[in-house]
Amino acid sequence: MGTYILGISAYYHDSAAAIIHNGEIIAAAHEERFTRKKHDPGFPSKACQYVMDEANIVAEQIEAVVFYDKPFVKFERLLETYHAFAPKGLSSFATAIPVWIKEKLFLKQNIRKELKELGFKKPQLLFPEHHLSHAASAFYPSPFDEAAILTVDGVGEWATTTICHGKGKDITIIKELHFPHSLGLLYSAFTYYTGFVVNSGEYKLMGLAPYGNPDSDETRRIKKLILDELVDLRPDGSLILNMKYFSYATGLKMVNEKRWEKLFGFKARKPSETLTQSYMNMALAIQQVTEEAVIAMAESAKSLTGATKLVMAGGVALNSVANGKLLQSGLFEDIWIQPAAGDAGGAVGAALCGWHLWKGHNRVLNGAPDGMKGAYLGPDITDKDIQKALVKYEAVYSHYSDFKDLCKIVAEKLDEGNVVGWVQGRMEYGPRALGNRSILGDARNPEMQKKMNLKIKYREGFRPFAPSVLEEDIQNYFDIKVPSPYMLMVVPVQPERLNTLPEDYNEQELMQRLYFQRSDIPAVTHVDYSARLQSVNKDTNSRYWELINTFKELTDYGVIVNTSFNVRGEPIVCDADDAYRCFMRTEMDYLVIGNYLFEKTKQKEWDQKDKWQEEFKLD
CATH, residue 192: 3.30.420.40
Tell me how far apart the alpha carbons of residues 615 and 462 are, in angstroms, rounded to a whole number.
Answer: 24
337: three-class secondary structure by DSSP: strand
Q: What is the DSSP letter of 416?
A: T
Whether 102 has a pLDDT exceeding 70, the answer reads no
Give the list of residues 6+ apart from residue 528 with CB closer than 8 angstroms, or none. 210
Domain assignment present for residue 245? The answer is: yes
Least confident of 219-223, 525-529, 539-543, 557-561: 525-529
pLDDT, residue 514, reads 75
The number of beta carbons lying within 10 Å of the beta carbon of residue 585 is: 20
Whether 93 has a pLDDT exceeding 80, the answer reads no
* Structural domain harbouring 103: 4-128+347-371
- Give the tens place of pLDDT for each residue, 450-488: 889 888 888 777 778 899 999 999 999 999 999 999 999
Per-residue confidence at 254, pLDDT binned at 50, 70, 90?
Answer: confident
Domain assignment present for residue 253? The answer is: yes
Q: Are residues 496 and 397 in the same domain?
A: yes
Q: Are residues 90 and 196 in the same domain?
A: no
Per-residue confidence at 607, pLDDT binned at 50, 70, 90?
Answer: confident
- Give the tens place of pLDDT for each residue, 309-355: 999 999 999 999 999 999 999 999 999 999 999 999 999 999 999 99
Q: Are residues 359 and 477 in the same domain?
A: no
Domain assignment present for residue 133? The answer is: no
Tell me how far apart the alpha carbons of residues 67 and 100 are, in angstroms, rounded to a whole number.
Answer: 17
pLDDT, residue 618, reads 61
Q: Are residues 280 and 157 in the same domain?
A: yes
Between 317 and 12, the higher pLDDT residue: 317
Q: Are residues 66 and 90 in the same domain?
A: yes
β-bridge partners, 126: 66
Give the list of residues 6+ apart from residue 402 with CB closer than 8 angstroms, or none. none
Between 618 and 371, the higher pLDDT residue: 371
Q: Which of 200, 207, 264, 279 is nearest to 230 (CA)?
A: 264
- 590-593, strands of its sheet edge to edge: 398-399, 596-599, 590-593, 420-423, 437-441, 559-564, 466-470, 530-536, 489-492
The number of beta carbons lying within 10 Å of the beta carbon of residue 489 is: 28
Tell me how far apart the alpha carbons of residues 192 and 199 are, in angstroms, rounded to a whole number.
Answer: 10
Per-residue confidence at 83, pLDDT binned at 50, 70, 90?
Answer: very low
Domain assignment present for residue 222? The answer is: yes
pLDDT, residue 135, reads 98
pLDDT, residue 92, reads 56
Whether 436 contacts 424, CB under 8 Å: yes
Percent of all residues in the chain with a pLDDT value above 90, rounded to a whole number = 78
Give the list of residues 6+ apart from residue 194 with CB closer than 8 angstroms, or none. 205, 208, 269, 275, 279, 282, 283
Average pLDDT, the chain: 91
Q: How far apart are the first and last CA of the chain?
A: 44
Domain assignment present for residue 327? The answer is: yes
404 burial (CB, 10 Å; 0-12 / 13-18 / 19+) is exposed
Q: Are residues 437 and 573 in the same domain?
A: yes
Whether 81 has a pLDDT exceeding 60, the answer reads no
Tell me how far apart the alpha carbons of residues 150 and 138 are, in angstroms, rounded to a whole number.
Answer: 9
- 309-313, strands of its sheet edge to edge: 170-178, 159-167, 146-152, 309-313, 334-337
Strands 466-470 and 530-536: parallel
Mean pLDDT to the nearest integer, 406-423: 98
Whether 548 has a pLDDT exceeding 50, the answer reads yes
pLDDT, residue 154, reads 87
pLDDT, residue 70, reads 75
326: three-class secondary structure by DSSP: helix
Tell me how far apart the alpha carbons of residues 420 and 442 are, in angstroms, rounded to a whole number.
Answer: 10
Tell me how far apart the alpha carbons of residues 201 and 432 are, in angstroms, rounded to a whole number.
Answer: 14
Q: Are residues 274 and 361 in the same domain?
A: no
Whether 574 contacts 385, CB under 8 Å: no
Q: Are residues 61 and 119 in the same domain?
A: yes
Domain assignment present for residue 136? The answer is: no
CATH, residue 582: 3.90.870.20
Whether 252 has a pLDDT exceeding 70, the answer reads no
- Work out how many domains the chain is built from and give that number: 3
Residue where a domain terminates, one of 337, 356, 386: 337
Whether 418 contacts 18, CB under 8 Å: no
Whether 76 has a pLDDT exceeding 70, the answer reads no
Whether 75 has a pLDDT exceeding 60, the answer reads no
Q: Which of 575, 540, 581, 569 is nearest to 378 (CA)?
A: 575
Tell me how far apart the alpha carbons of residues 540 and 544 are, in angstroms, rounded to a whole number.
Answer: 9
Q: DSSP assignment of 182-215, as one string?
A: -HHHHHHHHHHHTT--TTTSHHHHHHHGGGS-TT
pTM value > 0.85: yes
Q: Are residues 284 and 387 in the same domain?
A: no
Domain assignment present for residue 34? The answer is: yes
Tell me how far apart the alpha carbons of residues 99 and 105 are, in angstroms, rounded to a whole number.
Answer: 9
Whether 79 has a pLDDT exceeding 60, the answer reads no
Tell me how far apart the alpha carbons of residues 255 and 245 are, in angstroms, rounded to a whole number.
Answer: 6
Q: How far is CA 458 from CA 104, 271, 443, in A?
A: 36, 15, 19
Q: Are residues 150 and 263 in the same domain?
A: yes
- Give the tens place of pLDDT for each residue, 277-308: 999 999 999 999 999 999 999 999 999 999 99
Q: Are residues 382 and 367 in the same domain?
A: no
Q: Are residues 312 and 423 in the same domain?
A: no
- Give the tens place of pLDDT for each residue, 354-391: 999 999 999 988 777 899 999 999 999 999 999 999 99
pLDDT, residue 509, reads 78
Domain assignment present for residue 520? The answer is: yes
- Give the tens place of pLDDT for each residue, 563-593: 999 998 899 999 999 999 999 999 999 999 9
Tell me how far apart the alpha carbons of residues 6 and 351 are, in angstroms, rounded to a whole number.
Answer: 6
